[in-house]
Amino acid sequence: MFYTYVLRSEKNNKLYTGSTKDLRRRLAEHQSGKSTYTRNRGPFVLIYYEAGLSEGDARAREKYLKSGMGKRYLKNRLKCWLKIGV
C-alpha cells in the first residue's frame, strides 16, 4: 500500500502533507527530526491519511491536497476536527 497523509504540527498548528510507502516509519522520521522540511516543526499529530495501491496515485493525491482545491477539500473534510484539535 501507498499512503498520502496530513500531519498537524503541535508547535505552530500548521499542516504538512506527504506520501509514503511506510506510514509508521515516515511518521517516526517526522517526530525524530529526520525530515528536512519538518525538522524544527514537531511534534506532530497524524490527522488524516488515505491508502492506495499505486505510488503514482499517492503522489498525485499529495499534489492535489497541496493545491487550493485540495486544501478546501481537507478543510471541509476535517471541519469538526480542526475546530476541536487546534
Which CATH number goes with the domain that contains 62? 3.40.1440
* Mean pLDDT of the residues in the chain: 90
Quote the domain boundaries for residue 81.
Answer: 2-85
For 18, phi and psi rounded to 5 degrees?
A: -155, 180
pLDDT, one tens digit per residue, over 34-63 is: 888 888 888 999 999 999 999 999 999 999
| Residue that has been written with the C-alpha cell 471541519 in this structure | 79
Q: How many domains does the chain have?
A: 1
Q: Half-sphere exposure of 46 toward its Cβ, with a 13 Å CA cutoff? A: 16
